[in-house]
Amino acid sequence: MHPLRTLVALTAAGLLVAGCGSRQSQDSTVVTVPVSVQEVKPQSISQLLETTGTVSAEKEVTISSEVTAYYCLQTNPRTKKPYALNDRVEKSDTIVKLSDADYESTNRVDAQKLSQDIAQTTLSQEQAMYDKGGAASNDLQNAQLAYSNAKYNYTDAAFKESKLCIQTPFSGVLVALPYYTQNTRVASGSVMLTAMEYSHLNLQCKLPAQDMAQLHLGQTVLVTNYTLQNDTIKGTISQISPAIDPTSRTFQTVCIINNPQKKFLPGMFVKADIVIAHKDSTVVVPKTVILSDLKGHSLFVVDRGRAQLRVIKTGIEGDKQIEILQGVSIGDRLVVKGFETLQDGSRVKVME
């Protein structure tokens, strides 16, 4: 072989061997990044608007005495003991009876009732005689007037007599029952009791004006209290004020909260999450895996042993999760740990 050709062939062979060695060296220096993944599955997600406030009973009444009289606390027929705080009461239960001889003698309820009965009997007789032509119209009118007066007098006397019986106007629970010694004289205006019904609660809260467009009547409200962290009760928005406070730039809302087990008590300070958007069976990922830059939002998935950067479009945003509208599909293997150092196309090793 010609010496020149031999030299060229040897040079080419040397370069080929050197190139192969370089590629092997590069392949041996490729870093494999350990990552943790989770399969993307359909989930539900809610977008919440958080607020706080103090709940109050749906029904509440404080009853005071309207007369000066002697006090007598009654016996609860259900417990066979005098009425006490936290006792369940039914509508029209008599909790306290007041007595005053002078007051009762002035009213004379029994006498007024008898007068009404007599006047009614007389009116019936006059009406019968008038129908048969045996009585003048003037006599019938006088009988009607007498009955009307007697009925008024009895109704007025019964009303005044009712002031001596302190009754609950609705079914509920006794929450205040001031102590008075039995059969002592109490002054007019003395508080006798306070009763509440709180199987439903009211929550009045103020929200920023910019949130008004997101609210509407009937939206679900999730209510929690720091002392009952494992209990969440539901309610709905029942009222929305159309006016904005010019000082605080807030508007008022009222929520009705269902409290059937009465775990939440009137006066509790609560956190209320208003559900302003909700979706079932949609693509949801943790917020922590989202990468953001000037180009938008992205995340990593694993495909055939390599990291793949996906540009995404987001939707409903929850507290810890976010909906993905584009860029990720059900069944994709989402990188949830180890994505911080990844680049598009990086070799990865999935850790169990």
* Contacts for 229-233: CB closer than 8 Å, 24+ residues apart: 231/263, 231/264, 233/257, 233/258, 233/259, 233/263, 233/264
Q: What are phi and psi of 169, to 5 degrees?
A: -80, -10
The strands making up 165-167's β-sheet, listed across from edge to edge, are 165-167, 94-99, 69-73, 185-186
175 or 8: which leads in pLDDT: 175
Please state whether the predicted TM-score (pTM) of the whole model is above 0.85.
no
Tell me the per-residue pLDDT of 24-33, one tens digit each, with 9 for 90 and over. Answer: 444 445 689 9
For residue 237, give the nearest of 53, 45, 44, 43 by alpha carbon. 53
72 or 5: which leads in pLDDT: 72
Cβ neighbours of residue 42 closer than 8 Å, sequence gap 6 or more = 281, 282, 283, 284, 330
Tell me the per-residue pLDDT of 238-289, one tens digit each, with 9 for 90 and over. Answer: 999 999 999 999 999 999 999 999 999 999 999 999 999 999 999 999 999 9
Helices marked H in 75-183 = 101-107, 109-131, 137-162
CB–CB of 251/206 below 8 Å?
yes
Q: What is the mean pLDDT of the chain?
A: 89
As a whole number of angstroms, the distance between CA 258 and CA 263 comes to 11
**228 bridge partner residues:** 225
As a whole number of angstroms, the distance between CA 183 and CA 81 comes to 17
Going from N- to C-terminal start, the domains of the chain cover 32-45+280-350, 48-56+197-279, 68-96+167-189, 101-163
Structure confidence at residue 114 (pLDDT):
93
103 or 56: which leads in pLDDT: 56
| The domains spanning 32-45+280-350 and 48-56+197-279 adopt the same CATH topology | no
Q: What are phi and psi of 285, to 5 degrees?
A: -130, 160
As a whole number of angstroms, the distance between CA 173 and CA 197 comes to 6
Structure confidence at residue 8 (pLDDT):
44
Helix or strand run (H / E) with residue 198: strand 191-208
Q: What are phi and psi of 102, to 5 degrees?
A: -65, -45
Confidence of residue 87 (pLDDT cuts 50, 70, 90): very high
Structure confidence at residue 29 (pLDDT):
54
Residue 1 has pLDDT above 70, yes or no: no
Instruction: Return the CATH number of 32-45+280-350, one of 2.40.420.20, 3.40.47.10, 3.40.50.300, 3.40.50.410.
Output: 2.40.420.20
Residue 70 has pLDDT above 70, yes or no: yes
Helices marked H in the chain = 3-28, 101-107, 109-131, 137-162
Give domain 48-56+197-279's CATH architecture: Beta Barrel (2.40)
Confidence of residue 4 (pLDDT cuts 50, 70, 90): very low
